[in-house]
Structure 1
Amino acid sequence: MSPFKSSTGIYENLAGFLCYLFAFVGGVIFLVVERRSRFVLFHALQSIMLFGTLMIGHALIGFLPLIGTIVGLLLTLIGLVLWLVLMVACLQGKWLKLPLFGELAERQLHRM
């Protein structure tokens, strides 16, 4: 466990884990309630951006016959792998920054 607690009273690594466990919704909740921890805010932003993009991608791909099903399965597999990897990284207290979403989350974090 991380020795640092977020402003919610939850350990930072556990709060970051919850941002991903509940995917988009967990990120939104922690973005609203967290006041101090940059670690938690970063992971909340990255969760919102990643899983929001995956949800939009699934919605758009659903309109394509046949190939939409294949691409949808691929998106699901990618989302599942990223979900697991990001949750484990947070529990370990790592700032795992994804190539596109991590950069955007970091930029947004600096503006806050």
Structure 2
Amino acid sequence: MFISNAYAQAPTDMLGLGGNLTSFLPLVLMFVVMYFLMIRPQQKRAKEQKAMMDALAKGDEVVTAGGILGKVSKVTDVYVTLEVAAGTEIVVQKPSVTTLLPKGTLKAL
């Protein structure tokens, strides 16, 4: 009276793989979306940052991660020497240089 009848479901195909593949489809789609929205752009930014650090040369105007603006006066493998004011130089690590400014941005130096 209160209990309904239970019926067996028919398999979608002979091996029964159709149900397993469709259960993994949302997981695969989530990974593909995550790759294109998060992983790929991050790899592109990292590649651009590395290319910019390799191309640093004397006379370039840069911004550091701390917000210091300066003109590159010396570049080594690990460090960059920046002239932040006339006669004032600081040494920073290469990865702390975040942005390369267009020439002529810093007129006061």
Q: TM-score, structure 2 length as denominator?
A: 0.28
* More relative contact order, 1 or 2 (CA 8 Å, 6+ apart): 1
Q: Which has the larger radius of gyration?
A: 2
- The normalised TM-score by structure 1 is 0.27
User: 1 or 2, which has the higher helix percentage?
Assistant: 1
